[in-house]
Structure 1
Amino acid sequence: MWYNMNMNYKKFLDKPFRLMSLIGCVYLIIMILMNVFTDFSYELSILPFSKTVSYAAEGVALALCVLSFILYTHHSIYYTALEILTFSYLYTGRIYTALFLTAILFVLLLIENRLISKMRLSVYLVIEVVKIALVIPYGVRSFFEYFGISLFSLATIGCINLLFRHAYEKKDAGEINLADYKFTDRQIDCIKETVVNNTTIKALAITHNVSESAIKKDLAHIYSVLGIDGKADLKALFIGYKFD
């Protein structure tokens, strides 16, 4: 019984966006309750309909977090919830909270390489410009403070990401060699697609024209041979690995 509970716990931790969505739901429920009994989320606002905006944004974000918990492989749902909250906080004057969420979102986008295409990067920059424009009604000082801190934090996070990527590129890929293991071609492809593209079991099954249970068995075999517990460990093990 304890073993099964431990395995279920590890499986849950292997789905970070599901865990983040759960925490997001708890946070938003607390915020909505605080709004009901206080003016916490819109007490600093100087813009009209701030109360309506606050309730609507937190309600939509809560619904998206629930949906993200269910569809945890669709990370864009969680990103959308963060963006809605960020816009709401800027509109209602909670500028530093908005900055914090902007930094979190940027970290997640960098980790998942979501900004590598020109179109995605352009959309992201446009959204950030709109955010900056929302600070204008709060005065020159707030505008430059938000602009300066956001620029500084995004540049710092970006540089840290580059440093880590360079370190991984320099890492000796010979520390682990797939040729040393008797994996089938399909199992090797499962490793590559999981590590590089975060491909789901369903997508792998469709690609290889097999059942999802066959892919699950392949992954279970891979984890057993490599002595790891799941997807997160697999990704960590192959950081910087040069796949053919």
Structure 2
Amino acid sequence: MTGEAIRMRLELKRLARKYRIAPAQCSPTAPLPPVDGDWVFEGFAAPTVIDHERTKFAPHCWLPFKSDIPLLYRHGRPAGEVLKVRATDEGLHVRALVRDNESKRCTHFSVAATIHGYQLRDIDDGERFHALVTCATLDEITLTNAPANPAAMVLHRCRQSAAVEFYDIVKRGIVCAQGVVAALRVINAAQSVPPQTAVGLLKRSVRDLPRSGPTQIKAPTRPRPKTEFRTLVDAINATSGDAHD
């Protein structure tokens, strides 16, 4: 927990003591029925409402999201992977692929975040005082049945379809193909640079020969044989050119 988060917690506790408000308890929810296979969960992991800890995340408080945000079961072991996360006016929306069996029975999302800025709101109202997080880094998303924010429900879940699996395979294939094409372009560019051949040395040798004889020495004009790799590169370039035409 960062210094900013510690200060926020202490100020909220001070206000709670001032108004003699006991900490709210997270009531566990009944787990969903067990299911087989991988499932896709969607919902708001941080909706724009005050949670049990009297904290609310502003709709667009999030710094740019990392590409590898972990999806966990109760802030512990891995539960699957985050497919998409985005900030909306209603809160932080998440779409995740869930593989862990216990995680597939969870009813709510939760988040772990590094807080960089906050504001105390409604501090003169013993019922509504809270901290509004204005800047934060999303560190993880978790699945749970004891949510700090009861509004962070899993709104939709469905079995991972064959279409989703096919899309995932195609996406990985495209990334792999892009890497291969980039490598071939680098190799092709390197091979297109004129190599240092013996022609220059031969010309200098001709100039150094005595001019008494009629003999003329010409540089060899026999083309270099193509390798199998060069033939593959030429075929890829030709295909690319036809596509542009």
More helix by percentage: 1
User: Of the two structures, which has the highest relative contact order with CA contacts closer than 8 Å and spacing of 6 or more?
Assistant: 2
| TM-score normalised to structure 2 length | 0.27
| TM-score normalised to structure 1 length | 0.27
Task: Work out which of the two has the higher radius of gyration on C-alpha atoms and give 1 or 2.
Answer: 2
More strand by percentage: 2
